[in-house]
């Protein structure tokens, strides 16, 4: 129940607060790492009628998914801190519950996976298979970099549907 209240607190931050608060690339990558195991599993479910049973995204007992679960465990403290940063410091104690993380990822994964067009499952499977040899942190980096790129393109007026994660601006590289 406390974790549910934390989610409500996170989502109900005022518009002004949301505009002034942002997360850094490492914080966004930690959040992505925490969500990835559930996103991969949910993708496997959505794509179950389109992909063979031995597809990487459909296999729930693979070394691949275990690596992502371990990376998610390591990333959780940084992801939790980023969530607190975006919402209210008072929710930190709520997020320390053993139920908070599963509740958050269970709420987030269907929102993202619900956007999957089943016709794209083959492409997603190839993409995941190509990323599989990389460490999970690299995959999270690819996701955040791609998100940053799409947000920049949207800001230029391109019609791109991208989640509105409040990423801090980065100095030129």
Rounded to a whole number of angstroms, the distance between the first and last alpha carbons of the chain is 43
Residues in the chain: 173
What is the four-CA torsion angle of 15, 17, 22, 27, rounded to 10 degrees?
-110
d(CA 66, CA 44) in angstroms, rounded, equals 15
pLDDT-above-70 percentage for the chain: 86
Query: Which parts of the chain have pLDDT scores under 50?
Result: 1-18, 172-173
Which residue, among 111, 150, 123, has the nearest Cα to 47 in the 3D structure? 123
Instruction: Note whether 136 and 67 are within 8 A (CB).
Output: yes
The pLDDT tens digits of the residues spanning 47-92 come to 999 999 999 999 888 899 999 999 999 999 998 888 888 887 777 7
Which residue, among 40, 19, 36, has the nearest Cα to 28 in the 3D structure? 36
pLDDT of residue 138: 96
């Amino acid at each position: 129940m406390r974790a549910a209240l934390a989610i409500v607190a996170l989502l109900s931050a005022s518009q002004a607060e949301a505009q002034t608060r942002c997360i850094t690339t490492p914080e966004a990558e930690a959040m992505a790492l925490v969500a990835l195991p559930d996103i991969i599993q949910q993708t496997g479910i959505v794509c179950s009628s389109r992909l063979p049973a031995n597809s990487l995204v459909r296999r729930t007992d693979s070394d691949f998914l275990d690596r992502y679960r371990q990376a998610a465990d390591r990333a959780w403290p940084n992801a939790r801190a980023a969530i607190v940063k975006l919402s209210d410091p008072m929710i930190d104690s709520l997020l320390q519950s053993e139920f908070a993380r599963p509740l958050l990822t269970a709420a987030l994964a269907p929102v993202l996976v619900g956007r999957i067009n089943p016709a794209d499952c083959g492409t997603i499977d190839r993409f995941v298979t190509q990323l599989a040899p990389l460490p999970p942190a690299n995959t999270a980096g690819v996701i955040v970099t791609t998100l940053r790129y799409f947000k920049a393109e949207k800001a230029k007026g391109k019609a791109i549907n991208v989640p509105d994660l409040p990423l801090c601006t980065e100095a030129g590289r």
